[in-house]
Amino acid sequence: MLNLWSTPRVVDQAKPRDYEVLEDIHGASFPVAWSADEQAALNDTPGVTTFVVRRGSATASRRPIGFITVRQAADEAEVLTMAVHPKQRKGGLGRMLLNAALRHLYAERVGAVFLEVDPANEAALALYKKAGFQTVGERPDYYANGQNERRSALTLRLDMDQPTLRPSATIARMVS
């Protein structure tokens, strides 16, 4: 039976009023939190986009419950961070966010997406591998844990199968 009180999840782009909540989610997810001011500065950087997932009901809170930030430069992009509120995990939100970001980057004609992930982060590794990312390298001393210790990261890459443009054929069509 349809549950009228269930709250669908919607993904859209982060607004400045969301940054305080993103700080909370980031702080609950990583040893070193990105502040609301840092989120604002990052999102003002050219090529950077943050998608948030919210409850979709008109009567429910519209606070973000997860987010992903990506940065595009020419035909490459990287996932800078992603996190789902600890109480909302394992419900498909991480997958929703990653799919939204990848759809956006595909539409922007990105050919390859990179990210760094802690090799001990089973949840993130499983999510990325299911999306098609493959390990292409390792970066020593990448993560700070807030206690003067540093850990290495794996570099993952996803190739996006963009249709090849044939400039001569395209131009011929335009002028004929």
Pick 130 or 166: Cβ nearer ligand COA: 130
Residue 119 CB, nearest approach to ligand COA (Å): 11
Q: Give CA separation, 169 vs 75, 111, 122, 162, in Å.
A: 21, 21, 46, 17
Residue 145 CB, nearest approach to ligand COA (Å): 13
Q: Give CA separation, 86 vs 36, 53, 106, 122, in Å.
A: 19, 14, 29, 15
Residues within window 131-170 making contact with ligand COA, judged by CB under 6 A: none
Asked if 91 touches ligand COA (CB under 6 A), the answer is: yes
Residue 117 CB, nearest approach to ligand COA (Å): 4
Asked if 89 touches ligand COA (CB under 6 A), the answer is: yes
**Among 84, 102, 154, 158, interactor with ligand COA by CB under 6 A:** 84
Residues that bind ligand COA in the complex, under the rule CB under 6 A: 29, 82-84, 89-95, 117, 121-124, 126-127, 130
